[in-house]
Amino acid sequence: MGNFFDFIIEHLAQFLQFTAFANMTVGHLIMICIGLAFIYLAIAKEFEPMLLIPIGFGILVGNVAFAPGYQIGVYESGSVLNYLYFGVLQGIYPPLIFLGIGAMTDFSALISNPKLILIGAAAQLGIFGAYCLALALGFSPTEAGAIGIIGGADGPTAIFLSSKLAPDLMGAIAIAAYSYMALVPVIQPPVMKLLTTPKERLIRMKPPRAVSKTEKVIFAIAGMLLTTFIVPSGLPLLGMLFFGNLLKESGVTKRLADTAKGPMIDIVTILIGLTVGASTQATTFLTMKSIGIFALGAASFVVATFGGVMFVKIINLFLKEGNKMNPLIGNAGVSAVPDSARVSQVVGLEYDKTNHLLMHAMGPNVAGVIGSAVAAGILLSFLA
Amino acid sequence: MQRRIKHFLSGIAVLLLIVASTNVASAQNAGDLKINEILVLNDSNTVDDFGKHTAWIEIFNSAYNTVNIGGCYLTDDLSNPTKYWIPTGDPTTKIPSRCYMVFWADNHPTRGIFHLNFDLDGAKTIALFNADGRTLIDKVEIPLENKPDITYGRPTNDSEQWVYLEKSTPGANNDYTKKKSAGESFVEFDPYGIGMTMIAMFVVFSALAILFVIYKNMGRFFIRRSVSAQKPATSEVKVAAKHSEEEMSGEVNAAIAMALYLYQNELHDFENTVLTINKVSRNYSPWSSKIYTLRKLPR
């Protein structure tokens, strides 16, 4: 009988060794708190809930401590999470998300006023500003490139590039990119107000003209060919973006476009959010590098906003009265679609209740998506 | 219309034929295979799986996908291109991307598929032929003087030049020197990232500037076309159009769209929490009537 009780106690003790309580560290607790904070921000404050809920919950999933060797964790070969994470590691999910983004993006604002495209290029300064800072802080060139892309304010692009250049930092980079995208309404307005004069904020822009279907179809095809001929390494992202847009604009593939911008992008968003969140295991995530990445990410958003707004101000020097652009749309050059365009609208309305900048800001906003994908291609071709 | 489609399809067919004729049939991108390194006199170099020192030939898959060498031919005699047929259907004949495979030139084909039916004593050429037995994939002229255990090969994977190598590397890259990564080389000349910023911003601007130029001109073309299409309109229609344009500017449309969007979003959020139970006005239904569920009385 005594032997039997010993057997029971021994196995209970053994079982306890497998529980998360026995394997938990302070790091895991910190990460769980971060995950809960993400979920809180998403539900209570409605900051990018589509992204922060999957990522926040993924952080919880990834930080339930377990005894290694049982094919549980995201980094353990053969585990279910590891299979799902394959799409992140191999850069499969980001192009699929770009397909959906293409299918839901209307490039009319850009086509009707093509000079807005250039704002999307200027705002990419954030990427290279962060790259320079990261190099100065002692990050390796590939790490600096991957960190820099946070400034593009484009989650899928950040994941795509970091999976190629610095897979070890991908979790931190993705979390930083999505966090700052959610915080665009907090980060950008002070920079916009600081760089503009009251008179500039009141500039009214010409209403965009109606764009024909033919123009939109040509844009999807010509846009893909031109950008990828210049930067072929951006092909997975740009190819899918413009392909999705062609599905939408052709008008004859409605079902495909609906799938791309509906169920498919939703499924991929769930998978990418959950697995990126789960990849932030305390053991790999809580390092000084991660803190550095977060600091650089914030700086990159500020530099990107600076680049966009200042570019509009410079261009305005050469434009005739009546054709000038409102510098408050400069911030929309970062590709956080449509949040940064909404920021332009909200800040613009603060100064003139009848000056709606949303349509104008959507131009640089979608140009920013193209610009950040091109920038990612350049970094990939130089550093990979 | 049908005629046009026929012309279009026949055009594609011709194009495909032209493309097909320029690409000779291959086993599986076997054209990407290269003879990479050879050892003619093996005194104390690598031993084969039978523990013997024999001559060997290394093949390199320069493609970025797996290539199956099965079905191809190796020979030391160009007049007999099908001298050794590499068996098909064997998983071991697949060469992964940018990897290597070694064949033992020992004239002992019974020892396995990687043992050839010729050796390199006195051989002048080694050639690799495609599965059709006619198409030459790669060949190498063996130098007359060969030192024992010194291999002859390409100094780097992509080199066309052949030299005696300082170190034999069967089944591995011939270039074993330490290499800097692309990023390290870049940063060596650009430690602060200024050069990268300048180049990259220039490229991003160029790419988007080209789009800008094209769309600016295309926009002009489409505006001109739409203006010419509107010309026949009567003055009354013009006035009406002008009025409606003034009344509904783009900004107004944007504001309405945004208001509707916000309204619908809010409505949706509230709707989720509302549960409405209304009494159904029609109480009777034959489906719930007991009369229909009872058996009729026997007469």
- Write the pLDDT tens digit of every residue in B34-53: 999 999 999 888 899 899 99
Query: What pLDDT score does B25 carry?
Result: 42
Give the Cα separation of A117 and A103 in Å (integer).
19
pLDDT over 90 at B175, yes or no:
no
Q: Regarding beta strands B33-39 and B55-61, do their DSSP bridges make them parallel or antiparallel, or are they unpaired?
A: antiparallel
Interface of B with A (CB under 8 A): 181-184, 186-187, 191-194, 196-197, 199-201, 203-212, 214-216, 218-219, 222-223, 226, 249-255, 258
Question: Which residues of chain A are under the pLDDT cut of 70?
Answer: 1
The DSSP bridge pattern shows strands B125-129 and B73-75 to be antiparallel
Q: Which two tokens stand for residue B199?
A: 């180049």
Give, for A309, the enclosing helix (H) or strand (E).
helix A288-316
Looking at the DSSP bridge assignments, the partners of residue B282 are none
Percentage of chain B lying above the pLDDT 70 cut:
72
Of A132, A208, A223, the CB nearest to B193: A132
Has residue B283 got a pLDDT over 70?
no
The closest alpha carbon to A182, from A297, A68, A42, belongs to: A42
Q: What pLDDT is attached to residue B243?
A: 55
Q: How far is A331 from chain B (nearest CA, A)?
A: 17
Min Cα distance A230 → chain B (Å) is 7
Of B182, B222, B250, the CB nearest to A208: B250
Which residues of chain A are within 8 Å of residue B222 when distances are taken between CB atoms? 211-212, 214-215
pLDDT confidence band for B13 (50 / 70 / 90): low
Domain positions in chain B are 21-164, 235-271
- Could you tell me the CA-to-CA distances from B184 to A383, B179, B188 in Å, in that order? 8, 10, 6
Asked if the Cβ–Cβ distance from B193 to A370 is below 8 Å, we say no
Residue range B76-131, pLDDT digits in tens: 999 999 999 999 988 899 999 999 999 999 999 999 999 999 998 888 899 999 99
Q: Is A270 buried (19+), middle (13-18) or exposed (0-12) by CB count in 10 A?
A: middle
Question: DSSP of A108-165, one letter per residue?
Answer: HHHHHSTTHHHHHHHTTHHHHHHHHHHHHTT--HHHHHHHHGGGGT-HHHHHHHHHHH
Q: Rounded CA gap, A144 and A299, in Å?
A: 13
pLDDT score of B23 more than 70: no
Candidates A118, A366, A369: best to mutate against B (most CBs of B within 10 A) is: A118
Q: Rounded to the nearest 10 degrees, how much is the dihedral formed by the CA atoms of A281, A284, A285, A288?
A: 160
As given in the structure block, the two tokens for residue A180 are: 């700052």
Q: Which helix (H) or strand (E) holds B194?
A: helix B194-230
Residue A131 near chain B (CB below 8 Å): yes
- Cβ-based contacts of A207 with chain B (< 8 Å): 249-251
Q: Under an 8 A CB cutoff, do A382 and B210 touch? A: no
| pLDDT at residue B14, as a whole number | 61
Give the DSSP letter of residue B288: G
Cis peptide preceding A54, ω within 30 of 0: no
* A156, two tokens: 């899928």
Q: Which of residues 210-249 of A touch B (CB under 8 A)?
A: 211-212, 214-215, 218-219, 222-223, 226-227, 230-231
C-beta atoms of A215 and B208 within 8 A: no
Do A111 and B215 make contact, defined as CB atoms within 8 angstroms?
yes
Q: Using CA coordinates, name the residue in chain B closest to A311.
A: B205
pTM flag (> 0.80): no
The ipTM of this complex is 0.83
How far CA B8 is from CA of B5, B12, B19, in Å, comes to 5, 6, 17
pLDDT at B230 over 80: no
> What tokens were used for A203?
């500039």
String of DSSP letters for B51-72: S---EEEEEEE-SSS-EE-TT-
Q: How far is B183 from chain A (nearest CA, A)?
A: 4
Helix (H, G, I), strand (E, B) or coil at B136: strand
Classify residue B174 by its DSSP letter.
S
CA A272/CA A94 separation, integer angstroms? 8
Task: Please provide the average confidence, as pLDDT, over all residues in chain B.
Answer: 80
pLDDT of residue B8: 55
Q: What is the DSSP letter of A70?
A: S
pLDDT for res A14: 86
Position B293 pLDDT exceeds 70: no
Given a cut of 90, whether residue B215 has pLDDT beyond it is no
Higher pLDDT, B148 or B246: B148
Cβ proximity of B159 and B147 under 8 Å:
no
Q: State residue B94 phi and psi, 5-degree precision.
A: -85, 125
Cα A31 to Cα A34, A59, A68, A283, B266: the distances in Å are 5, 7, 18, 10, 33
pLDDT at A49: 87
> Cα–Cα distance between B82 and A107 in angstroms, integer?
59
Class of the B21-164 domain? Answer: mainly beta
Average pLDDT for residues B196-214, to the nearest whole number?
A: 89
Q: Which residue of A has its CA nearest to B246?
A: A207
Nearest CA distance, B220 vs chain A (angstrom): 10
What lies within 8 Å, CB to CB, of A130 at 6+ separation is A147, A148, A150, A151, A296, A297, A299, A300, A303
